[in-house]
Structure 1
Amino acid sequence: MSETVRPARTLSGKTTISIFLIAVLGVGVVIGMTFPLVTLSLERMDLGATLIGLNSATASLGILVVGLISARLLARFSTSLVIIASCILSVASLVLLPIVGTVAGWFILRFMMTLGLGFLWLICETWLNAVAIPSNRGQIMGLYGAAFSGGFALGPLVITLTGSQGWFPFALAGGILAASSMPMLLLGGFREGKGDEHVGQFKIFRLHPFVFIVAFAAGLFETTAYALLPVYTLGEGLGENGSMYALSAFSAGGIAFQYPMGKLADAVGRNALLILTALSILIGVVVLPFVINMPVILFFVLFLLGGSIFGLYTLGLILLGDGFNMKNLIAANAVFIITYEAGAVFGPALSGSAMDLWPDNGFVGFLLFCAVVFAGLAVKKAKQSSP
């Protein structure tokens, strides 16, 4: 990535990175809090599973809208203004959620809240990639991944302390978001240098298509596992507690692997890590049905599988930063998010259909097919990149 952009106000590199990591940790905590908060609140309103599911889908819709409009919005308005507006939008929506008593109101506020969170998420990702250099981009994006996934895991734990009823947990989420996001204003936005030309958002994909294949795969594998791993393990006789332990092992791997994978990307190179990650996912899926009744080994396999799958997103961001200069990085990051969300939509839908058609092996069969295809594409990409 060409070095054409710097924060408008000069702070030390460590301070700048720390500000972003605090911000993305806060975004992760709030997202982790709002998923169970909204679901439990809607259940108390006696809504059916269909409406609760549709309300959750508005979050993905909000992220997709962010991806579509972010490049133009950030080109027209200052980064600082977008941060302030996004924070106000999300905090106001959070505060209003426990007050509004209508179903339509909860759908609208969920969408508006996600719009604000989505812009903050995008700005953090893009800015961190912008201040990184090729030799340390892996470590920085690994820290980013660890902060976001750690915050996401911490969110539900906060709810266990505050409870899910009343206005307080919503207000606390808003306070966490404001406190963690506002320090970004100290950086004062970006100053763009000369010499780089903008590329249209819909031409971005053709420049480095494999980056967005990685994003699609990350969304597909992550969301399929989160949505249907408990269904698979319940069907295999693990019971409710065992299924939750299995999902926790998967999530723990996702948190633990982020920084080591980023550091490894700097040490051994992107292509080597790409092949290693793809093969790790493939091997993990192949082994899964053979260890399903061996809890200790199963949890270890899921820990490794979760780390590899979550690492795909971080690896994709590293490739994104390597491939695009800052003037195009916002648009590229937006396309990255769109393709990630597309994978998140298609994965559970197709995997669920496979499980209906083939109850015993549909989950593993679908993941195995996807893992084989992705591993083949990764090897092909690595060969093409070799001198």
Structure 2
Amino acid sequence: MERQSDMQESQSLNLEAREEPLSRADRRRSLIAVIACITVVGIGLGSSIPLLALLMERRQIPALLIGLNTAMPAIATFMLTPFIPRLLRRVPVIPFLLACVAVSALAMPCYYIFQNVWLWFPIRFVNGLAITGLFVVSEFWVNSLADEKNRGKLMGLYGTILSCGFAAGPALLYLAGADGALPFLLIGSLVLAGGVPLLIFGRGLAPSIKEKPSHGFLTFLLVAPAATLAGLIYGATETNIFNMLPIYALRSGMGEQAAAFVLTIFAAGNIAFQFPIGLIADRIDRRAVLLVCAAGGFLGILAIPFTTFSMPLFALVLFVFGGVVVGLYTVGLTLLGQRFRGADLAAANAAFVMMYSTGALVGPPLSGFAMDLWNPHGLIVAMGSLCGIYLIVAGWRYAKASPEAQGAL
């Protein structure tokens, strides 16, 4: 299956569609441009999120208000993602990404200049719009570069490097500190630097969209339910792990240091498994890989309560669980890229990010309610139920599709 060959070529940022396929060298330059851009932005995002949370906690902002403020990017995602394919028909990809980089970078000093927490709500909303644009379009770009021999590998590489960027964010914050204007200026400058690879490596090499999507935004849930819903399940799982699992660990008798360390273990599994899963997805039926990741996630969640008595065993299970469940994101995106092209691919990527945000919003409240009903194992019931339902959906789609129906998820 050949990659869509309509690419942008230009000598300025007003790029015209290019007719010939990219050479191997141009593909490499294009991939470097988009991955370098989103990784630098990821480092900035990975440091800005804890910075804002820390400063609000210092000022004794009520937890409810902190939570509502943290939810603003997700709200922005819901509002922007349906319109991204339409925007990309009017604005070329690189100018669009550069505008998003600039907006996100300028938001950082605004947090410092405007200290009133109520002003942080619109700032964070606008920043969320920019971040949403960056992630949806960068994933669309990487998927557009891939062919069926290397699609899983490229998506795994993208996810691995991005995860490393997020992991480096807290280290940057540790070095810069949380006092004064320095961290805001440093993070803003770093995000702004994300535009440099686009200008150096990406000009004339970004994908373009000329046509309208043939599917409505939400119809991807019906057209490719298992691939699209993979984003929702991973969004709920990842957000629950980072928000609720430390609480579960404490209530299960672990110390505070061990409870904090669980996040590092889960993130390490994310980083270690994405690329190998992508390679496997290029060699065997991707539907089967997605099904195995769903089954592994379900069994991993059920195993957690039986390992809390031993930190090494708990760490091993969580590491493998974090690595397998991230395959839902990697393989889900890979399957969408396998099935869709052009405007449909952009719309499918947008729907996938929308599902991820839905899971991130729904997951923690659902798990918190379950933990109140059954302390602490309600978390396992809630997460296991979500993964179990998804496992049924993925298994049904796998059983229904014929061996020749690649991408039928």
With the shorter chain as reference, the TM-score category is over 0.9
**Relative to 1, partners in 2 of residues 1:37 and 1:265: Cα closer, same or farther, differing over 3 Å?**
same
* 8 Å contact kept, 2:160–2:274: yes
* 8 Å contact kept, 2:89–2:209: no
State, as a whole percentage, how many aligned pairs show the same letter: 33
Once the two structures are superposed, residues 162-181 of structure 1 have per-residue CA deviations (whole angstroms, 9 ceiling, x without a partner) of 10111121122122222223
Once the two structures are superposed, residues 56-98 of structure 1 have per-residue CA deviations (whole angstroms, 9 ceiling, x without a partner) of 0112112222313212222222223212221221111112111
- Separation in 1 of the partners of 2:73 and 2:209? 32
**Relative to 1, partners in 2 of residues 1:380 and 1:176: Cα closer, same or farther, differing over 3 Å?**
same
* 8 Å contact kept, 1:270–1:319: yes
Q: Relative to structure 2, which stretch is displaced further, 7-16 or 50-59?
A: 7-16
**Relative to 1, partners in 2 of residues 1:286 and 1:131: Cα closer, same or farther, differing over 3 Å?**
same
1:3 Cα deviation from its structure 2 partner: 3.0
- Separation in 1 of the partners of 2:303 and 2:270? 18
Q: Which residue of 2 aligns with 1:142?
A: 156
Q: Which residue of 1 aligns with 2:19?
A: none
- Separation in 2 of the partners of 1:176 and 1:205? 36
Matched, 1:123 2:140: no
Q: Relative to structure 2, which stretch is displaced further, 161-170 or 133-142?
A: 161-170
Aligned pair partner of 2:105 in 69, 76, 91: 91
Once the two structures are superposed, residues 197-225 of structure 1 have per-residue CA deviations (whole angstroms, 9 ceiling, x without a partner) of 64332433332222211111111111112
Helix, strand or coil for the counterpart of 1:8? strand
- Separation in 1 of the partners of 2:100 and 2:301? 39
- Separation in 2 of the partners of 1:30 and 1:116? 13
Segments ≥4 residues shifted beyond 6 Å: none
Once the two structures are superposed, residues 118-175 of structure 1 have per-residue CA deviations (whole angstroms, 9 ceiling, x without a partner) of 1111111000000101110000000111111111111011101110111121122122
* 8 Å contact kept, 1:25–1:147: yes
* 8 Å contact kept, 1:5–1:191: no
- Separation in 2 of the partners of 1:338 and 1:375? 20
Matched, 1:165 2:179: yes
TM-score (norm 2): 0.90
Q: Which residue of 1 aligns with 2:192?
A: 178
Give the gaps of 5 or more residues in structure 1. none
* 8 Å contact kept, 2:38–2:162: yes
Once the two structures are superposed, residues 7-29 of structure 1 have per-residue CA deviations (whole angstroms, 9 ceiling, x without a partner) of 32366222211111111211211
- Separation in 1 of the partners of 2:128 and 2:48? 10
Q: Which residue of 2 aligns with 1:229?
A: 245
- Separation in 2 of the partners of 1:247 and 1:373? 25
Matched, 1:74 2:88: yes
Could you tell me which amino acid in structure 2 is paired with residue 190 of structure 1? Answer: P
Matched, 1:272 2:288: yes
- Separation in 2 of the partners of 1:5 and 1:176? 33
Matched, 1:190 2:207: yes
Judging by fraction of residues, say which structure has more helix: 1
Could you tell me which amino acid in structure 2 is paired with residue 92 of structure 1? Answer: L
Could you tell me which amino acid in structure 2 is paired with residue 47 of structure 1? Answer: I
Could you tell me which amino acid in structure 2 is paired with residue 55 of structure 1? Answer: N
1:193 Cα deviation from its structure 2 partner: 7.7
Aligned pair partner of 2:323 in 297, 307, 312: 307
Q: Which residue of 2 aligns with 1:23?
A: 37
Could you tell me which amino acid in structure 1 is paired with residue 323 of structure 2? Answer: G
* 8 Å contact kept, 1:7–1:191: yes
TM-score (norm 1): 0.94
Q: Relative to structure 2, which stretch is displaced further, 296-305 or 239-248?
A: 239-248
Q: Which residue of 1 aligns with 2:349?
A: 333
Matched, 1:369 2:385: yes
Matched, 1:261 2:272: no
* 8 Å contact kept, 1:17–1:128: yes
Aligned pair partner of 1:218 in 234, 238, 257: 234
Could you tell me which amino acid in structure 1 is paired with residue 287 of structure 2? Answer: N
**Relative to 1, partners in 2 of residues 1:7 and 1:172: Cα closer, same or farther, differing over 3 Å?**
farther
Aligned length: 386
1:183 Cα deviation from its structure 2 partner: 2.2
